[in-house]
Structure 1
Amino acid sequence: MLKPVVKGRGRVRAEVVRLDSPVSFLGDLNPETGRFAGVDVAGKVVSLPYVRGSTVGPYVLWGAARRGKAPLAIVAEKLDLMLVSACVLAGVPLFQGRLESGCVYIDLETGAYDKC
């Protein structure tokens, strides 16, 4: 089970996009297209080691969410204040843990998940 940090609502089925390197919302996420580190993440679950970057990062994720281009949820191994702030501001559920690429059913409140 994943540890919920910023909870969502409901249970969803989604593709997992696994990123193996740390990324920055500012520079790596295009809020207009939903491409994050070169991969389309809109409506998908992003699993990553951690994020790096500045205090502007949360606003980039918020901009993507306003356009409907944000990830459905983010799963990170290491959390920091900027990542938590970004997810709260954008309304993107955040979990601590790690997922493999593929498809999952995930409970956005509890962090329980199963492979599709």
Structure 2
Amino acid sequence: MVSTIGIISLSSGIIGEDFAKHEVDLGVQRLKDLGLNPIFLPHSLKGLDFIKEHPEARAEDLIQAFSDDSIDMILCAIGGDDTYRLLPYLFENDQLEKLSNKRFFLASRIRP
């Protein structure tokens, strides 16, 4: 059963911007109303500039989400066209490959 959802930002950091706070709060409340426990990975709310400049941090969040046994499902907060920059960081030491079959991963239209 899905209980805890790890929310990540793989391409855009828009959910960390002040102007998006209302929408983020609304989305979190709707997930809670469904009996779910949404949590944000460490870098997911750091904003547009940080997310754009740090693909390694985005990759860390994804690997952490797959590694954390308390997270039942991973939800990518927003799509975009910058996800391809994570690739060099995702396949170091085959970490992601070893972990990827443990979780649901939900995304709308993220593209590598």
Which of the two has greater strand per residue? 1
Which of the two has greater helix per residue? 2
Bigger-Rg structure (1/2): 2
Q: What is the TM-score with the length of structure 2 in the denominator? A: 0.35
Q: What is the TM-score with the length of structure 1 in the denominator? A: 0.34
